[in-house]
Each structure stands twice: as C-alpha cells, then as structure tokens.
Amino acid sequence: DFAMYMAKHGGKGRYQLFDARGYDEMTYRAALRADLATAVQAGQLRLDYQPVVDLRTGGIVGVEALVRWEHPTLGRLSPADFIPLAEETGEIGPIGSWVLDTATRHVAGWRRSPGTPADIWVSVNLSTLQLSSDRNLAALERILSQPAAQADKVILEVTESALATSADGGVGALNRLKSFGVRIAIDDFGTGFSSLSTLAVLPADILKIDRSFLSGLPGDAPAAAMLEGILEVARKLNLAVIAEGIEDTGQLGLLRSLGCDMGQGFLLASPSPSPVLEALLTSGSRLQPPAGAAASAAD
Ligand code: C2E
Ligand code: MG
Ligand code: MG
Ligand code: MG
C-alpha cells in the first residue's frame, strides 16, 4: 500500500500529494483515479451547505451544496482536488447525480422542521459533462422528475467556461432541465471567456458574480464601477444576482448600497454540514442584518 500523506503546498491552499517512498505524482493520480471509481458506492462523499443571504434583511433564502470526499487514507479532499479528475474519468456523472439527489433530500428534510422557511432553495454545481452526455442528463432528469425533489426550488449552477465547450453553448440541455422548473445560475461570472452579451442568449435566471470582483472593494474605484455595471446589466436582463465571496463588512456595505440582491461568503456563513444548516434555519437567524433590521426573523 501507499504511505500517502498530504502537505500544504506553498500556502496557496492547494494540496499536493507526497510520498515518503518516492512515488511520483502520476502514480498518485492513478491511485486516486481508482479510488474515485468506488467513492460514491463506498459512501465517502459528503455535502456541506453554504447559506445564501438576502442582503436587504440578512435572512437565508437558499443554500449552495458543496461536495467533499472523505478519502480513507488522505482524509477530507476538497472539490478542486478531485472534481477535475472525476471529469477526466467520467465519474462526474454518478457523483453529480449523487450530489443532486442527496442535496434535494437534505433540504426536503429541513423543510419539514418547524421554523424553516418553506421556500428555501438549494443550489447544485454542474459540470459540463453532465450537460453534454445524454446519459448524465437523463439521470438528472430522473431525479428532478420526482415530486419530493421540488425542482421548482432547485438551482443548477453552470460556469461560462463549461458552457463554452458544448456545441450549442449548453442551451438545449439547460432548456431541457428548465422544463422541470429548475432555475439556472451562471457561476463564477466574470472569470470565463464570454462577454456580457452571452448573458442575453443563455436561459439563465441568476448571475453569481465571482469573488475576484470583490477582492479590492470597497476601496478600488474601477472594481466598484465594474460591479455597478454588471448589476445594471443584470437588472435590465431580469437576472437575480448573488455576490460570491463576501469576506468583510466593507464589501457587504458597498454591495448593499449598489442594490445587490443576494450574497454568499465567509463573513455571512461558511459551508457547514446538513445538521448545522438545519439548526441555523429553524432558529430563524439573520446573518449580518443591516442596521435597523430586526435581529431575528420571528418578529
Ligand atoms: P463555487 O461553486 O464557486 O463555490 C464557492 C466556493 O468558494 C466554495 O469552495 C466555497 O467554500 C468558497 N467560498 C465561499 N465563501 C467564500 C469566501 O468568502 N471567500 C473565499 N475565498 N471562498 C469562499 P469549495 O467548496 O472548495 O468548492 C470549490 C468549487 O468546486 C466550487 O466553486 C465548484 O465550482 C466546485 N464544486 C463544488 N461542489 C461541486 C459539485 O457537487 N459538483 C461540481 N461539478 N463542482 C463542484
Ligand atoms: Mg457554485
Ligand atoms: Mg461560484
Ligand atoms: Mg467563484
């Protein structure tokens, strides 16, 4: 067996695999690839949920499901460590279906707890291979067709770059999914290849502004102007907006003053396991409510 351990590499938040006996990266990728093939069946995947907040009230309106892999020897792996590999091997199909199925079950459970807002939605990230493969798409449709999944309270997140790789820009697949009542969000907006004009042709409902737009705020005037422009275009195209990666009160204040609908970020809440989210929702907590707003939803 491999004596594997993880070490943080260069403080960049990315992990690299090292081995005391000198196995190279290729060997590890091959091992990880083999392990990934059984991860779903072995029950090694977990979901964390990060609240999405209505910036006018601080109330939680939805959650984003984020997958993690509890590897038997390497410990907890983040999606950046295994999603690209899963896309390479095709395992992203079963993994993606597991994520949608599990997330909709969790949220259905929360909705039965007293105090949880009945219209709370759940957002799930999709890979390009889930849209471009008929088999994967059909698997998603099977899950969404079950009434318990409450497809009208599901948001599917796709990135601009993922859409760019499919022939029709993913429009056909997205429309098929939308026929079940789901909403579509463009994730990491601003980091892909496409321009603002792409938004006009995509069947999108929500724009998630990538956190790179927030990094210099509120001090960076050009960055603030960009943000304001994106919000203006989104409003004209009838797209709701979620700002990603809100880490400080300065960013939050600026987003509020620009009229951004919703936000997500470590300042508001970090991703947490299902029981933590359920407790947060039933308590009616508001996260960073604006001055003057009540601290509890119970009023
Ligand atoms: P994403 O969809 O843009 O998700 C947001 C990521 O930003 C999450 O990282 C989240 O933990 C992190 N984040 C949230 N708030 C903050 C903040 O205030 N500051 C900073 N610096 N980061 C913040 P995570 O969980 O590591 O996920 C990374 C990416 O992996 C996701 O980016 C998404 O593209 C992908 N991913 C996650 N789950 C799935 C999945 O089930 N399927 C697929 N295909 N991809 C997934
Ligand atoms: Mg996302
Ligand atoms: Mg994102
Ligand atoms: Mg992002």
Q: What is the spatial distance between Cα 65 and Cα 103, in angstroms, rounded to a whole number?
A: 7
**Atom of ligand 1 lying closest to residue 66 CA:** 38
Q: What is the spatial distance between Cα 20 and Cα 7, in angstroms, rounded to a whole number?
A: 12
3-class SS of residue 225 = helix
pLDDT of residue 196: 72
Prediction pTM value: 0.92
| Pairing between β-strand 45-54 and β-strand 272-273 as defined by DSSP bridges | antiparallel
Q: Ligand 2 centre from 255 Cα, in Å? A: 19
pLDDT of residue 30: 87
Nearest CA-CA partner of 157 in 177, 139, 172, 141: 177
Q: Ligand 1 centre from 245 Cα, in Å? A: 10
Q: What is the CA radius of gyration of the chain?
A: 20
**Cβ of 83 below 6 Å from ligand 1:** yes
Overall average pLDDT of the 285-289 stretch: 95
| pLDDT tens string 119-155 | 999 999 999 999 999 999 999 999 999 999 999 999 9
Q: What is the spatial distance between Cα 86 and Cα 128, in angstroms, rounded to a whole number?
A: 12
**Cβ of 80 below 6 Å from ligand 1:** yes
**Cβ of 4 below 6 Å from ligand 1:** no
pLDDT of residue 22: 54
- Reported ipTM: the value is 0.98
Q: Which residues fall inside 5 Å of ion ligand 2, going by CB?
A: 125, 157, 187
Q: Ligand 3 centre from 123 Cα, in Å? A: 11
Overall average pLDDT of the 277-299 stretch: 81
Burial class of 3 by CB neighbour count within 10 A (0 to 12, 13 to 18, 19+)? exposed
Q: Ligand 3 centre from 293 Cα, in Å? A: 28
Q: Ligand 4 centre from 162 Cα, in Å? A: 13
Nearest CA to ligand 1 atom 25: 66
All residues at 6 or more sequence positions from 86 whose CB lies less than 8 Å from its CB, including other chains: 36, 92, 95, 127
| pLDDT tens string 24-69 | 777 778 889 999 999 999 999 999 999 999 999 999 999 999 999 9
pLDDT of residue 97: 98
| pLDDT tens string 9-27 | 333 334 455 544 556 777 7
pLDDT of residue 162: 78
pLDDT of residue 195: 66
All residues at 6 or more sequence positions from 8 whose CB lies less than 8 Å from its CB, including other chains: 15
Overall average pLDDT of the 87-112 stretch: 97
Q: What is the spatial distance between Cα 122 and Cα 277, in angstroms, rounded to a whole number?
A: 12
pLDDT of residue 173: 95
| pLDDT tens string 164-190 | 777 788 899 999 999 999 999 999 998
Amino acid of residue 154: V
- In angstroms, the Cα distances linking 284 to 116, 135, 154 are 7, 40, 21
Nearest CA to ligand 1 atom 22: 245
The token pair at 263 is: 């936000």
Q: From the CA of 264, which ligand is nearest?
A: 1
**Atom of ligand 1 lying closest to residue 246 CA:** 18
**Cβ of 78 below 6 Å from ligand 1:** yes
Q: Ligand 2 centre from 188 Cα, in Å? A: 7
pLDDT at 5 over 60: no
